[in-house]
Structure 1
Amino acid sequence: MNIDEYNEKYSKNSLKAGYTTGTCAAAAAKAAFMILEGKDVLEVRVSTPAGIDLNIPVLDIKVYEKSASCAIRKYSGDDPDITDGMLIYAHVSIKNINRDKTVRVFIEGGRGIGRITRPGLEQKVGEAAINSIPREMIKRHITECAENMKVFADIEVLIYAPCGKQIAKKTFNPKLGIEGGISILGTTGMVTPMSKAALIDTIKVEMKMRLLNSNIVIGVPGNYGLEFTKKIMAYPMI
């Protein structure tokens, strides 16, 4: 089903659900691989960790001599997500044919995907900010396609987002130590409207990172609390 059909059947309190940047990246990677192998792909089917299969439109298809790329438009439903509507791209290329009939998938982040600059996050310092579940989704979808098509090879996947650097300035990423772009995220593959759980998870990640770099963490309610704390304490407020 597509996301409109899903919302028509399952939406709660008339709020529409969406899908994560991780789902977008996996969908783009799968579609780009299929296009590279000569398939006509107007939409691609993606299985999310939530157990929901979605058919998602494929945009901006480009085919090169030994690679292909395409984009998926991020859809956040009724969740106030700054990444809503942006394009997440995947560029897929085949590097080596493996005689042992194995499929190996290598994932990298390109333009508009953030880089980890501080310890305490899911990926190591210096790596692209593509979290583990989106990485697993990309590998699983590519591997399944390749095995079904009997393409046993080393497959490189480059995830990028042309508007990612600008959009990331409006996210938590600079405070978390993720520089240069957005993060590819998502634990269920789906975006729940007005998700309190997502906000709490973000706060937990930031606090974990802070505790690894300092023995002092101060939490205050809102901007008034922050301004009050700045006035009475000498600690830097980041």
Structure 2
Amino acid sequence: MARKPDGPLRRGWTTGACATAATAAAFEALLTGRFPDPVQIALPKGEHPAFALAQKSRAGDVASAGIVKDAGDDPDVTHGALVLASVRALGPHAGVRFKAGRGVGTVTRPGLPIPPGEPAINPVPRRMMTEVVQAIAARLGGRPDLEITISIPQGEEMARHTWNPRLGILGGLSILGTTGIVHPFSCSAWIASIHRGIDVARASQARHVAGCTGSTSEAGVKKLYNLPDFAYLDMGDFVGGMLKYLRDHPVPRLTIGGGFAKLAKLAAGAMDLHSGRSQLDRAAVAAWLVELGAEPAMIGMAETANTGIEILEAAQARGLALGDLVARQARDQAAMVVEGKVAVEVVAFDRAGNIVGRAGFA
């Protein structure tokens, strides 16, 4: 994850909020010939932000409006993206229909809130757009029967830097948002993506999933198991969020892969492995070394070492199986969270991707 800057952080707007505002502007122009600019919408929690239009056009029974997404100070891959909404009038009682334009993905796997074959426009943004269309129709005397096409011209390239391909969302980005607001450096969005990954794996009848702290550990687990792509969960530092969801939505087997230092945090009971939210428990490491029969000098070194890898390398040089012990402790901590509903394995890696500790399925 990107480093959180110092000082107050500026909020931003979700793709769902931008798509709703663009839809509102386009529909009003379709009915009146005039584009409101800026265009104001109501968000689910009662806020009423206004959005400037970056693009607008009208031809026949189709009107289009575009808004440049401002994600505030969040390191969002879609910050600065142009979100376009084109609306086309349908016949009476047709209701609101959604279509994926250029750069917006299509759902291809079960397990997501939207069924396969549908545009990757999540339920809350769909509701927001439907409600704004109904409100404008009531205010201006039109019919709320529309086809809404959402496009993000650079979305297909942006989606390659998201979890969409792994979740089976192909062709572009998802239109997301539950409140309309992007809270900078929020953990909730990452954890929600882990949950959706578990949902997709379960819907695909996966019996073995892997949650890894990063690309090195994921590559290491891939050498051990030939799992389908959707079985790999982008756990990152949020092992607790993954384990708690698996406890309630179990998959038979889970492999946790990670760097030694991060797994040592899990072994000591930490459920958030980010360096800003948990630290290596050197007293716990020293106790593990005592258990392994380390000499006093080695134990003292562990209590003052700069990094976990430094401790591991010193233990390896003395023939002490610290990596395996940490993996076992981490597995036992994870097993307590899932309450026996999932068989857990833990594999620890060094920075080069070599296995330095392993505790098999319990």
Aligned partner (choices 47, 51, 54) of residue 46 of structure 2: 51
For 1:226, what is the secondary structure of its paired residue?
A: helix
Partner of 1:26: 20
Aligned-pair distance for 1:153? 5.0
Q: Is the 8 A contact 2:84 2:150 kept in 1?
A: yes
| Matching residue of 1:39 | 34
Structure 2 residues not aligned, in runs of 5+: 1-5, 230-362
Percentage of matched positions with identical amino acids:
37
Equivalent position of 2:148 in the other structure: 157
Q: Judging changes above 3 Å, is the alpha-carbon distance between structure 1 residues 192 and 151 closer, same or farther for their aligned structure 2 residues?
A: same
For residues 48-127 of structure 1, the aligned pairs below 5 Å read 48-96=43-91, 98=92, 104-127=95-118
Asked whether the 8 Å contact 1:50–1:190 carries over to 2, the reply is: no
| 8 Å Cα contact 1:103/1:143 also seen in 2 | no
Counterpart CA distance in 2 for 1:111 and 1:234 is 36
1:186-197 to 2 correspondences below 5 Å = 186-197=177-188
Q: Which moved more, 1:44-53 or 1:22-31?
A: 44-53
Residue 103 of structure 1 deviates from its aligned partner by: 8.0
Give the CA deviation at 1:72: 0.9
Q: TM-score with structure 2 length normalisation?
A: 0.59
Shift of 1:122: 1.0
Contact 2:26–2:35 (Cα < 8 Å) also in 1: no
Bigger mean CA offset, 16-25 vs 63-72 = 63-72
Aligned position for 2:245: none
1:142 is aligned to 2:142: no
Alpha carbons 1:61, 1:70 under 8 Å: kept: yes
Following the alignment from structure 1 to structure 2, what is the Cα–Cα distance between the partners of residues 202 and 113?
Answer: 17
Looking at structure 2, the residues matched to 174 and 216 of structure 1 have their Cα atoms a distance apart, in angstroms, of: 19
2:211 aligned residue: 219
User: Given that residues 211 and 217 in structure 1 are in contact (C-alpha distance below 8 angstroms), is that contact kept between their aligned partners in structure 2?
Assistant: no
How far apart are the structure 2 equivalents of 1:206 and 1:52? Answer: 31
What secondary structure, in the 3-state scheme, does the structure 2 residue paired with 1:85 have?
A: coil
| 8 Å Cα contact 1:110-1:158 kept in structure 2 | yes
Runs of 4+ in 1 over 3 A off after TM superposition: none
Matched residues in 2 for 1:153 and 1:171: separation? Answer: 34
Moved more, 185-194 or 162-171: 162-171
Structure 1 residue runs without a partner (length 5+): 1-11
CA RMSD of aligned residues (A): 1.7
Flag the structure with more relative contact order, 1 or 2, with Cα contacts below 8 A and sequence separation at least 6. 1
Residue 7 (structure 1) aligns with: none
Q: Name the amino acid aligned to 2:40.
A: R
Residues 45 and 56 of structure 1 are in contact (CA less than 8 Å); yes or no, is this contact kept in structure 2? yes
Compare the two structures and name the one with the higher helix fraction: 2
The code of the aligned residue for 1:18 comes to: G
Residues 105 and 143 in structure 1, CA contact (< 8 A), matched pair in contact too: no
The CA distance in 1 between the partners of 2:90 and 2:226, in whole Å, is 51
SS at match of 1:219: strand
SS in 1 for 2:34: coil
CA shift, 1:123, in A, is 0.8
Q: Is the 8 A contact 2:209 2:227 kept in 1?
A: no
- Contact between 1:230 and 1:237, CA under 8 Å: does it hold in 2? no
